[in-house]
Amino acid sequence: MASRREIERMIGERRIAINGAVIETPATLIESLHGVTVDGKPVKAPAPARLFRFHKPAGLLTTERDPKGRPTIYDRLPKDLPRVMPVGRLDLNTEGLLLLTTDGELKRQLELPATGVPRTYRARAYGAVTQAQLEELIEGITIDGVRYGSIDANMERRTGANVWIELTLTEGKNREVRRVLEHLGLTVSRLIRTKYGPFELADLPAGAVDEVRQHDLVVFRKTLKSAPPRHGEGDQPKAGGGGPRQKPRGAVPPPPSPQARRRSSSPSRGGFKR
């Protein structure tokens, strides 16, 4: 029906009921959708989860609405897309792969550090750094009292005063990549997420969306570690999402070890690896 926050607003507006009794608080646990209505209409059972890939351009906020009126991803998404929720966030100036899903539980599984889904980024930064400094990030780092977990970072190439660095992490704290690189004395001028789990940005054009095949999504979900159960949450978000095109199709292998991932490659024109 809507996102968790929107459902909370609907409850405040007394639009949701169970067997005719208006729900008074979001802290309401239900065992099934039987008897649940919104504006007097029965709520249908959730459809199978869907996942989409979206190549988010820089300059869009990963939110549904912005009080300041700035453009959001929903201004750019196709109008015929089902209701979708973003998996994690990319900040205003970060571009690249943003997964979108119709299923709140899948969103949660993909986002939680406990499930260990790796995210890969490519950063163009200004300044001096060595491969040895980047390799120390594999042990994690604490910055201003905030602990960042293991990051597999590799220098790809240097062009003058700029360097391209590939980083893979599993936590995804707010602005994690930028803060870690800034701590090393670098200034990030471009940040691109190229991969989320087995789903790759590949050659998906900026602003484009495509859907992950249902078979690939089912195979991937079987590889996920179990997420800890929710405690006292009664929301049931239902939003649509997507995923990769050709590359992720077929069996999805587990993420490689940091050692196996170390390699050196040069970015193609535009900064994307083909």
| Run means of pLDDT, 10 residues per run, the chain, 274 residues | 84 94 91 91 88 97 91 94 93 96 92 90 95 95 93 92 94 90 96 97 96 94 67 40 38 44 40 36
Q: What's this model's pTM, rounded to 2 decimal places? A: 0.70
d(CA 88, CA 94): 13
Cα 94 to its chain centre, rounded Å, is 12
d(CA 216, CA 249): 6
Q: Which residues are catalytic?
A: 91
Q: What is the dotted CATH code of the domain comprising 47-225+232-249?
A: 3.30.2350.10
Q: What is the pLDDT of residue 125?
A: 96
- Structural domain boundaries in the chain: 1-45, 47-225+232-249
Task: Give one DSSP letter per residue of 181-215, joined into a string.
Answer: HHHTT-EEEEEEEEEETTEE-TTPPTT-EEEPPHH
Contact (Cβ atoms closer than 8 angstroms) between residue 125 and residue 187? yes
Two tokens at 43? 């709520």
